[in-house]
Structure 1
Amino acid sequence: MSDMTETTGDDVRLTIRHATSADVEALATIENECFPPAEAASLDAIRERVAAYPECFWLLCDENGAIISFINGFVTDRRDLEDDMYDDASQHNLQGAWQMIFGVDTAPRYQHHGYASLLMRRVIEDAHAAGRKGLVLTCKERLVGFYSRFGYVDEGISDSTHGDVVWHQMRLTF
C-alpha cells in the first residue's frame, strides 16, 4: 500500500499508511488511552506485532504526521478470532484467508469525527483487494451496530475471555 491522502469536509489533509518501528510508542500510548489495562496491548506486544506484520497496521495521520487513529490485526487461515492470537505474532500468515482485527483505536481527542470509519473502509478495501475471504473482529455489545454499518454480521457471543469481558464476534465476508 502506498500512502493515501484523504481530505475531510473541513479541508483537513489526512494520510493513511502502515506502521514502522518508529510508531510503536505512539501506538502504545493511544492503545492505553482507548482500552482498559486488562484489554490493552502492552508496549512489548505492539512492538512484536509491528515487527511481525507492519502491513497489518493501518495508521491515519494528520497533516503533521501525528497518528489520529489506527487499526491492527493479522492474517490467518483460522476462521475465528481467538485469544491466543493477540500474544503470538508468529501465527500471522500473509497468504491467509481472513484478516483479523485486534483493535480499532482513535486517540480520545479525535473520537466522534468519523476517523475510525474512514480507516475501516480502507482496511476493508485493502483486505478485499488482497483476495481475503473477509475480516473478523470481536467487540462489545455497544459497538455491534457500528460494525454492522460496514457489513459485519454479528455471529453471537465469542468464546474469548480477553480482559474478562463479553465479546461479540463479527464477520464481514466478501
Structure 2
Amino acid sequence: MIIKYATTEDIAAIAAVEAECFPPAEAATEKEFIDRVKYYGNHFWLMYEAEKLIAFVDGFVTDEPDLTDEMYEKATLHNENGAWQMIFGVNTIPAYRKHGYAGELICRAIEDAKQQGRKGLVLT
C-alpha cells in the first residue's frame, strides 16, 4: 500500500471512491473535489493498492476549533497556517473495509498535524 497526497490526476478516483462510500445525496461531487484538491490537496491522504485508490481521508486547516457545514462547501476557507486540521471524510471502498486502512490514514493525518504544529485534529 502506498499513501500519498492528492493531485489533480487523482480527482476522478477520489470522486469514484466517494460515490461508492456514500449515497448520492451525501457524496461530494467531482466538482467539489476539484476545488478541494486545488486548495488543500496536501491535506488529502490517499491509499493506493498498485494503481487502485482504495481509501482516503481529507480535510482542510483552519483556526476555527469546530467543524461547520460551511467548511464542506467552501474550500476557499482553508488556511494553511491554521491551528486545527479538520477531517471531512474517511472513505474506504467496501471490499477493503475491516483491514485497518482508514485507521492507518487517520494516524498519518495525525502525525502530519503534529509535525505541522497544529493544536489538534477534528473528526466529524
TM-score interval w.r.t. the shorter chain? over 0.9
The number of residues matched between the two structures is 124
Letter aligned with residue 130 of structure 1: Q
Note if 1:19 corresponds to 2:13: no
Tell me the distance in 1 between the aligned counterparts of 2:104 and 2:56: 11
1:53 and 1:121 map into 2 onto residues whose CA distance is: 18
- Structure 1 runs of 4+ off > 2 angstroms? none
Q: Which amino acid aligns with 1:67?
A: L
TM-score normalized by the length of structure 2:
0.96
Separation in 2, partners of 1:98, 1:36? 28
Tell me by how many angstroms 1:37 deviates: 1.8
Partners of 1:67 and 1:120 in 2: CA distance: 16
The residue aligned with 1:149 is: none
Output the CA distance in 2 between the equivalents of 1:65 and 1:126: 24
Pair 1:78-2:64 in alignment: yes
RMSD: 0.8
Paired-residue identity, %: 54
Match of residue 135, structure 1, among 111, 121, 124: 121
Cα shift at 1:95:
0.3
The structure, 1 or 2, with the larger RCO (C-alpha pairs under 8 Å, 6+ apart) is 2
Q: What secondary structure does 2:109 align onto?
A: helix
Question: Which consecutive unaligned segments of at least 5 residues does structure 1 have?
Answer: 1-13, 139-174
Indicate the structure (1 or 2) with the bigger Cα radius of gyration.
1
The separation in 1 between residues aligned to 2:19 and 2:29, in whole angstroms, is 8
The separation in 2 between residues aligned to 1:65 and 1:101, in whole angstroms, is 24
Amino acid at match of 2:44: F
Matched, 1:49 2:36: yes
Give unmatched runs, 5+ long, in structure 2.
none
Q: Secondary structure at the match of 1:124?
A: helix
